[in-house]
Amino acid sequence: MELGLYSFAENTPDPLNGGHLQSPAERLRDLIEEIELADQLGLAFYGLGEHHRPDYVASSPVTILAAAAARTKSIRLSTAVTVLSSEDPVRVYQQFSTLDLISNGRAEIMAGRGSFIESFPLFGLDLDDYDDLFEEKLEMLLELRKGGKVTWAGSKHTNAIPGIAVYPEPIQKPLPLWIAVGGTPNSVARAAYYGLPLMIAIIGGRPRQFMPLVDLYRQTGAKVGHDASLMKVGISGHGFIAEDSQDARDVAFPAHNATMSRIGAERGWPPGTRAQFDASTTPEGAYYIGSPQEVIDKILLQHEWFKHDRFGLQLSVGTLPHAKVMKAIELYGTVVKPAIDKALGS
């Protein structure tokens, strides 16, 4: 199994540091250091989410990944996600092709519809077209990935391309493309229909309940004739690691709860509680928060359920002290990863 990290480049008041708020420049410097450390520890990938909100600083994640590419050697660099519905597929292809060249073949696209809606009014799009935008632009991006001269008829949400080659050409042909989903069966079936790898974000509830979605993905892919070896599944979730499980929960909770409660208030959810948080850190819960052994056990338990190929840990949800995040990455790379590799024969 490939183990990696992802981040939304959160920049919120740090509850463990008197509510200190970094400047965007400071946050990005820390983020690049985190990616560098993940590379040095041999982690497989780093994903960076696209958001257009004041509490995140990655509205242009490919720009940040390009900076990281110049300071890393082997880690794969991905978005988590590119909100394809509000992007121009030609520019997405060009940006990631450029990233692929800078990184010497380490770029990946992770496309999704996005869980926030700020990009739609920002770029003059109608939320009523939420799914149609993604479907049409995904089809166009798949055509662009083939390389060479592109002929695209265009439709409601995309312009026609009359047999024009798009540059620059990437090293990887085609560029790797994952589809990220939250839990919608139609989104899972779409990834399977196109034979694209699937990343499922599990950020609440009971992860075991997502097993039918993984089954749907594999069964649908088989029905439409895709090679089972290409139908990769990834699982991602919130996490934090410390030497001691209680310390991990105590450190992670204030920032995590503040972030999730703020987002919940926007969506009509009640504020979270410490009891709910702690329940989600148990073996059957959604959060990978605890000691290295607890995180190892949870990843392996879920591998029994999903037989997934990739796992992504989100560090962090809400702002935590940089030193503590770096220590969590260190434990992930030096303790968790070797144990998973040994257990699964990687």
Q: What is the CATH number of the domain that holds 162?
A: 3.20.20.30
Distances (CA, A) of 42 to 95, 126, 290, 330, 341: 25, 42, 21, 11, 12
The phi-psi region of residue 166 (left if phi > 0; otherwise alpha if psi is between -120 and 50; otherwise beta) is beta
The span from the CA of 282 to the CA of 301, in Å, is: 12
The span from the CA of 40 to the CA of 51, in Å, is: 27
pLDDT of residue 223: 97
pLDDT of residue 115: 83
300: amino acid identity, one letter = L
pLDDT of residue 191: 98
pLDDT of residue 170: 98
Number of domains the chain is built from: 1
Domain containing 261: what range? Answer: 2-344
The span from the CA of 191 to the CA of 114, in Å, is: 15
Q: pTM for this one?
A: 0.97
pLDDT of residue 346: 67
Determine contact, residues 94/166, Cβ cutoff 8 Å: yes
Report, as ranges of residue numbers, the positions in the chain whose pLDDT lies below 50: none
pLDDT of residue 3: 98
The span from the CA of 209 to the CA of 207, in Å, is: 5
